[in-house]
Amino acid sequence: MTAGQILSQDALDALLAEAADLAALLSPCLLLTGNYKHFGGLSVRTRNQGVDGVMAVAAIKVGEMRVQAIITVPAIPVRAAAAGVKWAAGRIGPAAWVITGALIGGGIWWYCKQPPQRRDSIREAAVQAVTPLMENYTAAAGGVYQAHLQLRACMVPRPGRRTPASAILRELALSPESLSAAQLAELLDPATRPPVASLRAFLRAHDSTVFRQVRRGGFVLGSHYELPLGKGHQAQGDSPQKSVAGHHAQPGCRAETRDDRGRHRLVL
């Protein structure tokens, strides 16, 4: 069942306006909707833009892991040798470092004593061994860069000037745990940081609506939300109000609540 079958057009327009306002306040963010008609002002241009943004986030994570692996694997022999030298130094003392230096110096001396043709062969073999590694690194880093560009294109752009209310909402949205007014004040930029007393009053004034107090003085973003049903649904035995958690709040816009340690948050 869609919101258009439950709400009047005016109520639906008001709901969409509130969702757009919230996305603008939380920006930069991904808006998971294909409704480019109503959210075009927030740079939503295609039906799959939100999904493409999520896929870009996954591509960034995978690409970063690949880059880290490419860097780490060749360094394993060097780290193992360094660990062995440290272990030997702990057992036999500074003589281990002397032996290591002698081995390195001996290798350099041996290379310099080789005929020019053999030195060229050694250099060519080293280049052939390193070239695939550099190509893989370049490809992985390029994939991460392209994914970042894709994500930036799919996101609701950040505001030119962030208001105190927008900064408060964004910090609470990014926090994995509830925050008190004092904790929130420490995270806010000094340019947009209100006094702690004013911040606490603001949070309490919007408790159970915009924010939810899950512990004494600790707030999270979001709360329960309900939509009124029409008379036809009430006649079927439904209650006058019914939570739409987990259902589509409007065509193409995902709205649900998430229960995490007693918290309920709106996810757009």
What percentage of the chain reaches a pLDDT higher than 90? 14
pLDDT in tens, 60-75: 999 999 998 888 877 7
249 within a domain of the structure (yes/no)? yes
53 within a domain of the structure (yes/no)? no
Identify the sign of the CA torsion 34, 40, 42, 46.
Answer: positive
What one-letter code names the amino acid at 163?
T
What's the token pair of residue 28?
């930069």
Burial of 193 (0-12, 13-18, 19+ CB in 10 A): middle
> In whole numbers, what is the pLDDT of the chain averaged over residues?
75
Domain boundary, last residue among 89, 124, 154: 154
Count up the domains in the chain and report the number: 2
Identify the sign of the CA torsion 97, 103, 106, 112.
Answer: negative
Same domain, 252 and 179: yes
Same domain, 169 and 247: yes
d(CA 29, CA 43): 11
pLDDT in tens, 1-31: 455 455 566 666 666 677 777 777 777 888 8
Within 40-180, residue ranges assigned H as helices are 49-92, 95-112, 116-154, 164-174
pLDDT-based confidence at residue 249 (cuts at 50, 70, 90): very low
d(CA 247, CA 177): 25
Domain boundary, last residue among 128, 154, 180: 154
| Cβ neighbours around 222 below 10 Å, total | 20
d(CA 146, CA 87): 43
Give per-residue burial for 52-62: e unless 16+ CB within 10 Å, then b.
ebeebeebbee
Q: Is the pLDDT of residue 117 over 50?
A: yes
Domain boundary, last residue among 100, 119, 154: 154
pLDDT in tens, 118-134: 878 877 887 787 788 88
Q: Which residue has the higher pLDDT, 116 or 247?
A: 116
Q: Is the pLDDT of residue 172 over 50?
A: yes
pLDDT-based confidence at residue 228 (cuts at 50, 70, 90): low
What percentage of the chain reaches a pLDDT higher than 70? 77
Q: Which residue has the higher pLDDT, 178 or 245?
A: 178
pLDDT in tens, 179-196: 999 999 998 888 878 899
Residue 144 confidence (pLDDT):
92
**DSSP single-letter state for residue 47:** T
What's the token pair of residue 79?
């780290």
Residue 12 confidence (pLDDT):
63
Region of residue 191 (left: phi > 0; alpha: psi -120 to 50; beta: else): alpha
Same domain, 166 and 263: yes
Q: Please state the rounded mean pLDDT for residues 26-51.
A: 79
d(CA 60, CA 51): 14
48 within a domain of the structure (yes/no)? no
Same domain, 182 and 121: no
50 within a domain of the structure (yes/no)? no
For residue 88, the enclosing domain spans 58-154
What one-letter code names the amino acid at 199?
L
Same domain, 102 and 14: no
Closest C-alpha among 178, 184, 145 to residue 264: 178
What residues contact residue 142 under an 8 Å CB cut-off, 6+ apart?
A: none
